[in-house]
Every structure is written in C-alpha cells, then in structure tokens.
Amino acid sequence: MQDLDRDPIINVIHRQIKESIRITLDNDCWGAAVVLTYSGIDAMAYLNMPENQDDVTRNDFVSWVERYMNFPCREKLTGLDLYGARCGMLHQFGTASRLNREGKCRQIGYLPECKPEVIYNPKVSTDLVMLSVKGLAEAFFSGIDRFLIDLFANSEKARVAEKRFPNLVHVLKKKKDNKINS
C-alpha cells in the first residue's frame, strides 16, 4: 500500500495549503486566511509555470486566477484585482497596493462571509470591492481541483509539476519510535 503521507497532492495541497486555510477560517483568523489563500495561489501558479521559468510572475498569478477561480455571483473580480489585493496583504497586511493607487485594479476589502461573495456598489466607491473571505477560499479550493485535473491531463505539464513538487513545503511525520518518516 502506498504511503499517502508522501504523496505531494495529499501532503502539500490538501494537508498544508487547504487545511491551513480551513483552520484559519474555523478560528475566525480572517487576515491569515486571506494571506494563506494568496500564497496558495502563488504556489499553484508556480506549478503551472513553463519549464524554463524559475520564479512566479504577476502574469502567472493573474493567468491562474482568471482560468481557475470563479465566484458564484454576478460581480466578478479580475486576476489583476486579486493580484493587487495579494500585494496589499502580503506586503503590508492591508488592502491598498501600488496597482490600486495607480488605478490599474480595484481595491478589495474583506468581510468574513457574505452572499453574494463579491459586493460592488459604485455609488459608495468606484474602486472598492468587498469580498467574502470564505468565498475567496471556496473559489480557490474549487480552482485547485479544476487545475489538478487539467495539470495531470497534460503529460508535459504534469512532468514539469512533478519536478517542482519537491520544492514545496512537505511535512514529515514522526513514527512512534521518534524517527522521521521520509
């Protein structure tokens, strides 16, 4: 029987990326959930990069979001909207970013949970969108699932991703005898 702890999709994607986000949501750690979600998007964009590329770029992030993340509501967010929000959260734990200040994307504020998941009211502000943190996580989780299907349906992309998976954080569990299971 295969050791599922060693499988990168189980170990990295399900137990680390998705489970960490779920734990922050379950404990009302909304900002941490947002940061982990944007970091997770970066990780998926990394797995999806061309083989000759070493670092994730803005375009990789934006392309991944626009292909795989959908919100089940009328109002939509662009990949650049979410990239600008990512920059604000990861660089200052805030909602403003250089892209937003330059008018290249809308500023995203956060609500723990709301329906619709994306709220835009131009009468209040033309460049502010409110986003459900739970909705963001759900759109990301669904995006991961669609991405993995596409990834492994393409043998070349799968080969490149398999080479990159070891570069992601894996958790090695201790056996009962205190030795690391690797």
DSSP letter at 131 equals E
- With respect to residue 173, please indicate whether it lies within any of the assigned structural domains: no
Domain that holds residue 122: 4-167
- With respect to residue 9, please indicate whether it lies within any of the assigned structural domains: yes
**Whole-number pLDDT of residue 8:** 82
- With respect to residue 107, please indicate whether it lies within any of the assigned structural domains: yes
Q: How far apart (Å, rounded) are the C-alpha atoms in residues 30 and 80?
A: 21
**Whole-number pLDDT of residue 45:** 98
- With respect to residue 176, please indicate whether it lies within any of the assigned structural domains: no
- With respect to residue 126, please indicate whether it lies within any of the assigned structural domains: yes
Q: How many domains does the chain have?
A: 1
Q: In 3D, which of 71, 57, 163 has the Cα closest to residue 108?
A: 71
Q: How far apart (Å, rounded) are the C-alpha atoms in residues 139 and 77?
A: 11
**Whole-number pLDDT of residue 181:** 52
Residues 6+ apart with CB under 8 A from 47: 147, 151, 161, 164, 165
- With respect to residue 179, please indicate whether it lies within any of the assigned structural domains: no
**Whole-number pLDDT of residue 91:** 96
- With respect to residue 86, please indicate whether it lies within any of the assigned structural domains: yes
- With respect to residue 75, please indicate whether it lies within any of the assigned structural domains: yes
Q: How far apart (Å, rounded) are the C-alpha atoms in residues 76 and 119?
A: 9
SS3 120: strand
- What residues of the chain score a pLDDT lower than 50? 1
Contact 67, 176 (CB under 8 A): no
SS3 129: strand
